[in-house]
Structure 1
Amino acid sequence: MDRQTRSLLAHADHPVAAPLDDSSVDRLLSRAVVRGDEHVIDLGCGEGAWLLRVLRGHPEVTAEGVDLSAEALQRARRGAEEAGVAERLALRQEEAAAFSAERPGDVVLSVGAAHAFGGLLPALEGARRLLAPGGAVLVGDAYWEREPSARAREILGAYEDLAGTVGKVTAEGWTPVYAHVSTRHELDDYEWNWTGSLSRWALDHPGHPDSAEALRAAAEHREEWLRGYRESFGFVCLLLRRTPG
């Protein structure tokens, strides 16, 4: 089973591919989309959960979504058609880091997709290239909530604590104008959905050639989360604008 298929199955019950509940997503979007006629670009849009929500709520907003997964983009397209917003949504199947927009974004999103760029700062640089003057970037990434174990670092890689994460962002010429730190409930709910949705698919399809692999992947992920990084992992969404000068 390839990574893209596994991700789609794991996010079946949590289409926002990050540890955020609906109220947090709505609040972040309300701070990012303030005029109601913005052009919004989502780098690593997946099934388009963020874009569909903002398009449904703002009839004058237009949007572009970029992702490598053809199946995720097909789902985003179907969702847009069902919501009656398809004419305002363009979807591109390509590398987010290589994407070049014909129209700059008043709001550029990259939540939980920094890995596609090689890290948080490269993701912000990629977003900056697409940003209209005076626009805002909404980026979401992991940080260490408390000192991680060696095992946690091995699983997830190198991150800063929250202060260090914000510090390196501001050092690159960004000013936070709002933020959301995921709660324990949001973090746990996301992981239980990820492992549970993938496990349920595997149990519901016992004869499928990928069933055993999916069940193993869910069990391994659950073990890494519970015994590896649960006590130290955090996630923050930062709404950023460029600092003058």
Structure 2
Amino acid sequence: MSDIDLPPRLTALTFHGPLSEARAARLTQRLTRTSPATVIDIGCGWGELMLRVLDAAPGATGLGIDVNVDDLARGRGNAEARGLADRAEFVEESASGTTRGPADLVLCLGASHALSDAAPPHHTAAALRALRSLVTPGGRVLLGEGFWQRTPNVAELAAMWPDASAGEYHDLAGLVDISIDAGFRPVWIETANNDEWEEFESGYQSDLEEWLSVNGDQPVAAETRERVDRHRATWLSGYRGVLGLAYLTLAPVG
């Protein structure tokens, strides 16, 4: 990119999703009540929540699975900095059909697509069945999954991603129902709030916007500017206040 440095990537985000510090602390406390000895994080990114669970569960080991090498490297670096490198492993591989596990705690935050290639919304049910096979009896699954807070209108769908449709997600009740059908009981149901979404979306773009404020008039910035502007429009004119994210703490039946 000529003499211009590439923009940094996601440095403003602690979590790769709409998750606040307060909710993360509550989730960590709840998920460690069962004293998990093994943790698997599906589509882990840099595995921030997994590392917090390991901090709170002395002796537990964690395995993060993802295909993004940069995120995995960030996770390994964070584990090393916190003295968790001997208990946290990050591996570059697909989670589809994984033979890893079972584990006492399985995290799958915004990554159900990594467990199934079925078309939405059927991929969620398939992912839940896969998660049921990955968790030990008496263990827990934390599923972070999208749902429609309300049915999107035609203009909102047109502003979203290509081929967005009203049938692409369940509503919250439907999401909980398919979790039960997959062999779980929903021991806790919560959803990301507006503040969490705004912090995530702003943080997701922040590095690029800062970079564009300095380099935006350079020819090499055109592609980045177009991508950032498109994503912002997709959020603000499309799924803002329409797409939700549920955090379901699930206990396997039997």
Bin the TM-score by the shorter chain.
0.7 to 0.9
- Which residue does the alignment assign to 1:139? 143
- Which residue does the alignment assign to 1:123? 127
More helix by share: 1
Instruction: Judge which range, 183-192 or 148-157, deviates more.
Output: 148-157
Count, aligned residues: 237
The percent of aligned pairs where both chains have the same amino acid is: 33
Q: Match of 2:90, SS?
A: strand
Paired residues for 1:165-244 under 5 Å: 165-204=175-214, 211-244=221-254
The amino acid that maps onto 2:29 is S
User: Which stretches in structure 1 are left out of the alignment for 5+ residues?
Assistant: 1-5
- CA distance 1:166–1:200, change in 2 (3 Å): same
- CA distance 1:231–1:49, change in 2 (3 Å): same
Instruction: Judge which range, 120-129 or 81-90, deviates more.
Output: 120-129
Shift of 1:210: 6.5
Paired residues for 1:102-121 under 5 Å: 103-116=101-114, 117-118=116-117, 119-121=123-125
TM-score of the two chains, using structure 1 as the length reference: 0.87
The amino acid that maps onto 2:146 is A
Q: Deviations over 1:30-53 (max 9, x none)?
A: 111214452110001111211221
1:159 and 2:158 aligned: no
Shift of 1:94: 0.4
Shift of 1:89: 1.0
Q: Which structure 1 residue ranges, 4+ long, deviate > 6 Å from structure 2?
A: 207-210
- CA distance 1:141–1:209, change in 2 (3 Å): farther
The amino acid that maps onto 1:96 is A
Shift of 1:61: 1.5
TM-score of the two chains, using structure 2 as the length reference: 0.84
Paired residues for 1:9-28 under 5 Å: 9=9, 11-28=10-27
Question: Is the 2:43–2:95 Cα contact (8 Å) retained in structure 1?
Answer: yes
- Which residue does the alignment assign to 1:84? 83
- CA distance 1:206–1:225, change in 2 (3 Å): closer
User: Which stretches in structure 2 are left out of the alignment for 5+ residues?
Assistant: 1-5, 118-122
